[in-house]
Structure 1
Amino acid sequence: MKYTTKISQITSLDELPGAWTREDYLELLKRFDFPDGDTLKNEDPKEYLYMAIADREPAEAAAILLDYRLSEFLNEGQISQIAYDMQLDKISEEYPEISLHHQLANINQLLYKAFNGKFPHVKTSVIAFETTPETNLDTLLTKELALKALAGGLSDRSLMKRLFEDHLAGQAVFEEAEAIVWELKPLGNARYQLTTSEYWLSDADFDQLEFESDVVESPLPAETE
């Protein structure tokens, strides 16, 4: 099916709004042994958390945040290793489990702010676009279909296009789309807002802002016996 797409804005963010709630900040203040965190009723706990984080060694601070957000997916040894590696490399872009990239990026961005740039600078892309299919106007735009619709404007230099060319063309199952796209928000009148890592999609990846794409849904995953 052919989709007609127009990108209206691509924004690069140092920090994703809503990634951390006030409740997160207060709980983390406890984990960083910050005294009287519960008394901050009328104050912004984020600034106090920055101070509490900066009082720790970088790897120790990273491990506390990793344990808070990802202990369900990572064991103690993995957390310790990632906490060290995060100071040197963009782990939120390089970690083999793409499903963890979103939370790793949120943790990295918090550490980057608290330590004034001691951690690598990772950014988030927010893409505002409008897309309509040639037929079946009621088709639900999934994360997979959104990436395929946007693929028509990607340059050949794009990492997304180079790594997932067959997936974008509908020739391979594109399960990774669910993890690559952190959020796909419908805005009405065929308009959407897509959030992902700048690693996957950025302003530099597009050589067109208005384009058409031939969107083919992926084949069904093979059944395992």
Structure 2
Amino acid sequence: MKFNIKIDSASTLDEIENYWKNEDYTNLLGLFDFPDANTINAENLKEMLFMAITDFEPNEAAKVILTYKLSENLNEGQIDQISNDMLLDKICEEYPEIDLHFDLFNINQLLFKAYNGKFPNAKATRVKFSIISVDQNSEELSKEIILKSFSRGLSESNIIKRLFSEQMSTDLRFEEAEDIVWKLDKEENNNFSLITSEYWLNKDEIIASEFEGECLLAESKDQ
């Protein structure tokens, strides 16, 4: 499959809009022993949560939030380890299970802002682009197809191209694309927006504003 891709914009984000809901803020306020959390006006919830968080030691606050979001994915020992490690390193980039990077990024950034910089500041990248099929292929555009098609527009230093060179350039299945691309939203006409970690894609690694992308897919899902 071949596509004409035009990059409209690439920007850096320090938070993902709408990841944290008011319900999350209220629930977390309760976990941080804040009284009458249900009575706080919606516009004040985040500010009150930051105040409640900073009454705790940073690693203890991290443990509370990690448990709230990821207790089904991580055991107590893993949560203890991450709650200490994330004060020193960008665990949301380094953790071996990349399917957890999105949640870890959002947890990290909530703590970074609450503690005014005691945690490392992680970043995300949003790319807005248009994509049009050159060969009139009608297959639905997936995260895998988009990433493979982006290959020619990215610098050779890009870590996706370096770590997954075969998946990006051949018909080998690229299952990791589902976790590398955090969000893929279709907008009007042929316009899309994707969000991923700056670790995976720095906006400066996009070396072409318009290019022809090629995607090779396995004929069978079993390949």
Contact kept, 8 Å, 1:131 with 1:149, in 2: the verdict is no
Greater mean alpha carbon deviation, residues 129-138 or residues 50-59:
129-138
Quick one: which amino acid aligns to residue 131 of structure 1?
Answer: I
Deviations 1:16-36 (A, max 9, x none): 110100000000000000112
What is the root-mean-square deviation of aligned Cα atoms in Å? 1.4
Matches of residues 66-105 of structure 1 in structure 2 within 5 Å? 66-105=66-105
Residue 180 of structure 1 corresponds to 180
Shift of 1:179: 0.5
Residue 151 of structure 1 corresponds to 151
Unaligned segments of structure 1, at least 5 residues = none
Residue 199 of structure 2 corresponds to 199
Question: Residues 42 and 7 (structure 1 numbering): CA distance in 2 closer, same or farther, change over 3 Å?
Answer: closer
Contact kept, 8 Å, 2:91 with 2:104, in 1: the verdict is yes
Shift of 1:42: 5.2
Deviations 1:134-191 (A, max 9, x none): 1235321100011112222001111111111111113432110000111110002111
Identical columns (%): 48
Quick one: which amino acid aligns to residue 188 of structure 1?
Answer: E
- Secondary structure in 2 matching 1:82: helix
Shift of 1:108: 0.3
Residue 28 of structure 1 corresponds to 28
TM-score w.r.t. length of structure 2: 0.96
- Secondary structure in 2 matching 1:199: coil
Matches of residues 10-159 of structure 1 in structure 2 within 5 Å? 10-41=10-41, 43-159=43-159
TM-score w.r.t. length of structure 1: 0.95
Residue 7 of structure 2 corresponds to 7
Contact kept, 8 Å, 1:170 with 1:219, in 2: the verdict is no
Greater mean alpha carbon deviation, residues 128-137 or residues 5-14:
128-137
Question: Residues 110 and 218 (structure 1 numbering): CA distance in 2 closer, same or farther, change over 3 Å?
Answer: farther
Q: How many matched pairs?
A: 223
Greater mean alpha carbon deviation, residues 59-68 or residues 41-50:
41-50
Unaligned segments of structure 2, at least 5 residues = none
Shift of 1:219: 6.0
Greater mean alpha carbon deviation, residues 164-173 or residues 3-12:
164-173
CA distance in 2, matches of 1:207, 1:159: 14
CA distance in 2, matches of 1:218, 1:155: 25
Deviations 1:46-99 (A, max 9, x none): 000011111110110000110011000000000000000000011000000000
CA distance in 2, matches of 1:51, 1:215: 48
- Secondary structure in 1 matching 2:196: strand
CA distance in 2, matches of 1:189, 1:108: 35
Question: Residues 216 and 171 (structure 1 numbering): CA distance in 2 closer, same or farther, change over 3 Å?
Answer: closer
Question: Residues 106 and 42 (structure 1 numbering): CA distance in 2 closer, same or farther, change over 3 Å?
Answer: closer
